[in-house]
Amino acid sequence: MAVTCEVALINSQNLSKGEVELLGKAHEAAANAYAPYSGFQVGAAVRLKSGTVVLGNNQENIAYPSGLCGERVAVFAAGAQFPEEEIESIAIVSPSPLAVPDAFMPCGSCRQVLREAELRQKTPIKIYLQARDEVVMVSKSASNLLPFSFTIQNGVFK
């Protein structure tokens, strides 16, 4: 069985204006994160096929598991507000000094949610990941970030 994990590391100066704008919106969202317990802010910006951008950020709670990651807030908000629209791409960032500067790695649950979103819409979702550095990790599909994801095919769990 062939498994691919293709990601590119691109300096933000070499990204398109639209890509830089999406990352900028994710950084704006991160500034509004509610993360008083971890002190670790995450922002996400989902771009729909229509061009509409939906933001999300992490929302924590004193009953810790009650909170939610920034990228899932954004993906679920897009699903709630624009249920018929496909997601074209998502930028996920953390400007936090608590993050390593050169990478932001989404958690497994968020990868699972992104993967199911693209299986559901039958087109890949492009993912941009950035911490504080200029370097951006770009993946053409959530499948690169979560090979062997849990899924269901013809009523059979896999």
What is the C-alpha separation between 93 and 132, in angstroms, rounded? Answer: 8
Q: Does 95 bind ligand THU (CB under 6 A)?
A: no
> With contact defined as beta carbons under 8 Å apart, do 42 and 69 qualify?
yes
Q: State yes or no: residue 35 binds ligand THU (CB under 6 A).
A: yes
Output the smallest distance, CB 124 to ligand THU, in A. 19
Least distance to ligand THU from the beta carbon of 23, Å?
Answer: 16
Closer CB to ligand THU, 50 or 104, in the complex: 104
Closest distance of CB 132 from ligand THU, Å = 15
Dist CA 156 CA 158 (whole Å): 6
- Annotate 89-103 with b (16+ C-beta within 10 A) or e (fewer): bbbbbbbbeebeeeb
Alpha helix positions (H), the chain: 17-31, 70-81, 108-121
d(CA 57, CA 135): 21
- Of 60, 87, 139, 146, the one binding ligand THU by CB under 6 A: 60
Q: By CB under 6 A, is residue 24 in contact with ligand THU? A: no
19 is catalytic: no
Which parts of this chain interact with ligand THU (CB under 6 A)? 35, 38, 40, 42, 58, 60, 67, 69-71, 106-107, 110
Residues annotated as catalytic (active site), given as ranges: 71
